[in-house]
Structure 1
Amino acid sequence: MLITLIYGFIVSLVYNNFISQAHLLAMEEVEELNYIVSDGKLLPDLPLDNNSSQKYLNKIFYYMYDKNDQLLKMSNKIDWSKTDIETLTTQDLLQDGQYEMHIVFTAQKEFRFFVITRESIWNNGQYAGKVYAGFDISHDLMLLGRLLLWITLLLLCTLFVINKAANFMANKAMKPVVESFEKQVLFAANASHELRTPLSVLLSGLDILKDDADNKMSAFSKEIIGDMTGEILKMKALISNMLLLARCDNSAAGLKKNRVWLNIILKNTAARFQTITADKNIALSVIDDVPDLYGWVDRNHLEQIISILIDNAVKYTPRNGKIFLRAHCHNGMSAISVSNTGPGIGEKDLPYVFDRFYRSSEAKKYEGSGLGLSIAKALAEKNNGMLIVQSEENIRTIFTLYLSQKD
C-alpha cells in the first residue's frame, strides 16, 4: 500500500507538471499572438542557440488563430500529432484554460501521447484570437509505465518472499502443535488397542463364570454378571470406535475404493435392521429411484456409514414412525439419504452433531457415546465424500451422504 501511494504521488506530480508546462507554453504564445494582433505583423523565428533548444522545439507545438479562426502562425515538428491536433482545433471543443490528454496510434504501430490546452486573447474587451499549445508527453508516460512495471515486479517479489517467510514461520510455530496432536492420536490409538485385550479377557472370564454349572450363583450374582457383561460390551464398542477415529486422524485406516452399486448396499444393510425396526413397529423403506446408481468408495466404509445412520435413525424414531433410505443423483454426485420421522434436532444443536462425544440434552435420554456420527463423517471425508444433516424439529431428520462417481 505504501509503494502504491508513493507511485500515485509521483503520477500526481508528473500530471500537474504536464498541466503547468502546457499552461506556461500557452501563455507565452498568447503574448506573441497579442503582439501580432496589436502590431499587425508576424514575429520572426529566433535562431536556435543549442541542441537543447532544438529538442525542446521538437517536443512542443502551437497554433495561433485570429478572431475569424484563420491560422496565423503554427509550429509543430511532431509529425504523428498533426492530424489529431488539427481535428481538435477545427472542432474547437476546448474551453479557455481547459486541458486534455490524447493518445495516438501511429503508422509505425506505436502509441504516442500529447497534452493540449487552449487560451484566448482579448483586445479592448473584444475577442481577438486564440492559441492551442501543448507538447509530447510520450517519453514521460513511458518512464511512468516502466516505473509501474518495476514496482509491480518488486511487489510480486516482495509478496513471494513474505509468503515464503510466513510459511516458514507458520510451519515452525505449528510444528509443536502438530507433534502434540500426533502424539495424542498415537496415544488414543495405542490405548484403545491395549484396552481391547484386557476387556476381552474380562468378557471371556464372565462367560466362563456364567456357563460354569458347578458354580452355584444366586440370581442376584447372575444379574450382576449380566450387567458387567453389558457394560464391558459397551466399553469394547466405545474403544473400537475411538481406535477407528484415531486411525482416520493419522490416515492409518485402510482404503480400498471401488465402484459400488449403492442400492444393493442399501438393501443389504437395511435387511440387518428389519428385526429391530419390527420390534418398534417402525416402517423401514428403501426407495429405488435410480437402480444403476454407483459410487466410487470403499465398500466396508460405506456399509459402516449407512449402518451408523440407520442405527441412529432407529434410535430416535418413535414407535410407529418411518425411516426412508434413498439413493439418488445430485449435481453430478451420487447421494444416499437416510431420513426418519421423530423429534428432530434442535437448531442450536445442529452445527455440533458431528462433533466427537457431543450429545444434546434430548439425545442424552438415549444410549450412546456420541461417536457414531463423528465416525460416519470421518469415513465419508476419507472417501472424498461429504455428509450433511437437515432437520425440522418434531417433523423429520435427513442425513445425506454425497459420493463421487470417479476415482
Structure 2
Amino acid sequence: MRSAATVKLPTLDPGALPVARPRLPRADDILPYLRRIDDARWYSNFGPLLTELELRLASRFTDGAVAATVVNATQALTLTLQAMDLPAGSLVATPSWTFVATAHAIAQAGLVPWFLDVDHASQMLHPAQVRDQLGRAPGQVSAVLPVAAHGAMPDIEAWLAFREETGLAVLLDAAAAFDAARDARLPTVVSLHATKVLGIGEGGFLVTDDAALAFRVRRMTTYGFNGTREAQIAGTNAKLSEYTAAVGLAALDQWPADRLRFFLAAQHTRIGLAMTPSVVPQLGWGSDWVTSVCVVRLPNGAAQAATETLMAHGVETRRWWGRGCHQDAAFARYPRTALPITERLAQSVIGLPFAIDLARDDVDRVVRALRATPGIA
C-alpha cells in the first residue's frame, strides 16, 4: 500500500495562495471581555464569561438545548461517548470518509471504530446503509457516529428515526457545521478551532436536549467534580478558560456580519467555478450554509493531477480527509466494510483556497489553474 508521504509534489513558493487564512476576533474586539475578567478576577472553572458563551451557543439551537464546552471537539466526542456509558470494546459505526479525529475519539473512549462507506452524493453515512450492515457486524454495535461532511448537515429526522427503531445511540460529529447545525434533538459536537467558520483558537462544544447527558459531560471535563472537591465519576481536565470564552463571545458578536462575508466569498467562488462545470462544490455551499473551507468534486481520479497542477501555479490545495481513515496506520487494524465510494471520493475531492476575505482576483487565479489541469473543463 503506497503511503501518502511518498507522493512528490512541487514545492509551494512563498507567494503562493494559501488554502486557508483563518481570522479570529481582533484584540480590540476581545478587550471589553478581558476587562470583565480583570474586574471579576475569575479566570477559569466555569466563570461568568464561559456561562454566557454556553448560553449563547445553546440559543442557536432548538428549544431545550444545552451546550457543554470542551477544550476541543475531539475531546468533546470522546467524553460524550464515555458519558453515554456504552459497553467497553463495542463497535461504533462511523464513516472512514472523515477527519481522523472522529476515529481517534472513538478509540480513546475505549470503543472500536467500525468503518462504513458513505453515500456518493452527500459524502455522508446514511441510516439505511447502517441498517443494511448491522446483521453482518463483526461484533456488538452500540452506537453510530455520523459526520457532517465539511459543514453540510445530514438528514436529522432520518437519524432520529434510526435511533428510535434500533435503540442504538447516535452522536453527530458536526465539527465544521457551526452555521448549519441547529437541531439539538440529536447530540451534536461542533468544533471552534481557529480554522473553523467561527473559531476561538482551540475549543468545541456538545449541544443536546438531553440535559442529563450534558451534565455528565460537564462533570467529566472537571475531574468528575460537582460542587465539591470529591471526584464522583472518572473525568479529566478539559474545560475552557475565561480567556478562551472572551474570544468566543467576541466571535459571536461578529458572527452575523462575518456570516454574510463568508456567503459573499462563497458566491464569488461559485460564480468563478461556473466556468469549469466539471468542478462541483457541495450542494448548498454558499447558498444555504457556509463553512470555512471550499470542498469540490472533480472528475473521477483527477484529484492528484489537479493538486499537482494547482501547486505548480502557486495555488495550495488540501485533501482534507486524505484517503479515508482506514488507510491510516493508526486505524488499519480496525474492522471495515468494503469502501468503494470512500476510495473513489479520495481520488476526486480536494479543498480549494477559501477565506472570509478571499479576493475575486484570487478566485480567478484558482480557476485558471484548475482549467490548466488535464481532464478538467
Higher relative contact order by CA 8 Å / sep ≥ 6: 1 or 2?
Answer: 2
The structure with the largest strand share of the pair is 1
TM-score, scaled relative to structure 2: 0.20
TM-score, scaled relative to structure 1: 0.19
> If you compute each CA radius of gyration, which structure gives the higher value, 1 or 2?
1
